[in-house]
Amino acid sequence: MMTAKGFILSAEQQNAPAAQAAKDAEEEAAAESDSVPGESIQDAKGKGTPEAPDESQTSTDQWDLEDWSILSVNGVLNVSGQVINTSSESLSGTLKTFVYVDGVLVATAKTEVVEFAAGAKDKVNLVSESDWEAGEKVLFLEFTPRK
């Protein structure tokens, strides 16, 4: 009796078609609506996106992003590092990095901070909705306080 050789798919591989269909549906719904479901690269382009800096700018008036690295997590671009609240007050809002390759915006990665104490530092992972892009990357850090 012969049996055919097979292979086992991981849960991620099994769910990939459904996940891609859900992502496609979300993008289509966002295109039809004025609301922004997240900060995809298409959403960021032309909406007050800063021009690409010549070198990474990872500090704002309130924050420093140190020891950062740009990672590919399941093919999606993420920025990890350590943030320091350099202001004299507790802060809540959105930290966002704009990621450029050759002067072209390829991703925006963001995370929310809540009541982050003055002078405090912590590890952070800023998540994008964009695929990993090859090339030398330049970052621009932006903070939008919660209203």
* Stronger pLDDT, 74 or 2, i.e. the higher one: 74
The model's pLDDT over 63-113, given as tens digits with 9 standing for 90+, comes to 999 999 999 999 999 999 999 999 999 999 999 999 999 999 999 999 999
Q: Please provide the average confidence, as pLDDT, over all residues in the chain.
A: 79
126 touches 95 (CB < 8 A):
yes
Alpha-carbon distance of 119 to 95, in angstroms, equals 16
pLDDT value of position 30: 45
Q: So where are the chain's domains?
A: 12-38, 44-145
pLDDT value of position 10: 44
pTM: 0.68
10 touches 71 (CB < 8 A):
no
Domain 44-145 has CATH 1.20.5: no
Containing H/E element for 31?
A: helix 11-32
